[in-house]
Amino acid sequence: MKLVVISGRSGSGKSTALQALEDVDFYCIDNLPARLLPDLIDQMLGDPEHPGRLAVSIDARNLISNLHAFPEIIGELAKRDDLSCEILYLDAAEPTLIKRYSATRRKHPLSTNQAGLQEAISYERELLEPIASLADIRVDTTRLTLYELRDTIKLRIAQRSEQSLSVQFESFGFKHGVPLDVDFTFDVRMLPNPYWIPELRQFTGRDQPVIEFLEESADVYAMVDDIRDFLERWIPSFRQNNRSYITIGIGCTGGQHRSVYIAEHLAGHFSELMDNVHVRHRELT
């Protein structure tokens, strides 16, 4: 049976992620006490008609003792031959979480008369660290719409085969901050910048005028070759270490031209070598 544990801070999109998995035939349970997880697994596997795919949300509404015990619980489940387990952790920048939660006009589960919303959200990070530290995949939802998050969950979890490694190339602009969920970050700001060519500024790294401009530079070719060679050397080690997901960030200043071109180029190359390769352009969404 496949088990997906979803966690993350309030407002990060856990409910949306759970609904996305429910749409693709996962049996889903929200706010499960962590210590009940082994009993739930036993009960489901004891039923010959169990659905084969289970997703549970475990978050800060759990007892603190349950959260502290989470690594031990998952460690025991990982020893089972009849179960494969993945942990998905969602998060977003704190200003975004505050804005989202304020819009709902609901009380944060950790807020008190002494702790306001901002303090509660910061404390929530501490409480969930035992889960976050074990996450197989982290998704930064700061700039994701509900529809983009659903698509991300379905592509990277629901449609991934058990043995395949999911690789995502993500372009971004450093002036908007580094994504929270990248495993490697490559800075390409030293390459020629199409932004300073007035007739190219309106285009992106997916458009032919920008592609032709960048491909005139030997430095662009050298950068692409170096990143490609590095990843070809080390991606197999991630697979051998039982990693299921890896996100590679490519950053330029604004996230419109250079990083987009290189992310597209690398995704195209690795798509010929692997089954589960995706590309996302954070600043173009």
Q: What pLDDT is recorded for position 23?
A: 87
Q: Is 169 left (phi over 0), alpha (psi -120 to 50) or beta?
A: beta
CA distances from 229 to 69, 186, 226, 233, 267 (A): 41, 13, 5, 6, 13
pLDDT per residue, tens digit, the chain (285 aa), is 899 999 999 999 999 999 999 988 899 999 999 999 999 999 988 888 878 899 999 999 898 899 999 999 999 998 898 898 999 999 999 999 988 887 776 778 787 777 788 888 888 999 999 999 999 888 999 988 888 898 888 877 776 655 568 899 999 999 999 988 899 999 999 999 999 999 999 999 999 999 999 999 999 999 999 999 999 999 888 877 767 788 999 999 999 999 999 999 999 999 999 888 999 999 997
Contact 21, 5 (CB under 8 A): no
How many Cα atoms within 13 Å fall on the side-chain side of residue 54? 22
Q: What pLDDT is recorded for position 160?
A: 62
Contact 58, 7 (CB under 8 A): yes
The rounded percent of the chain whose pLDDT value lies above 70 is 97
* Domains within the chain, CATH numbers bracketed: 2-159 (3.40.50.300), 167-284 (no CATH)
C-alpha 65/C-alpha 118 separation (Å) is 23
C-alpha 99/C-alpha 91 separation (Å) is 14
Contact 203, 209 (CB under 8 A): yes
C-alpha 194/C-alpha 209 separation (Å) is 9
Model pTM?
0.73
Q: What pLDDT is recorded for position 101?
A: 80
Amino acid letter, 139: V
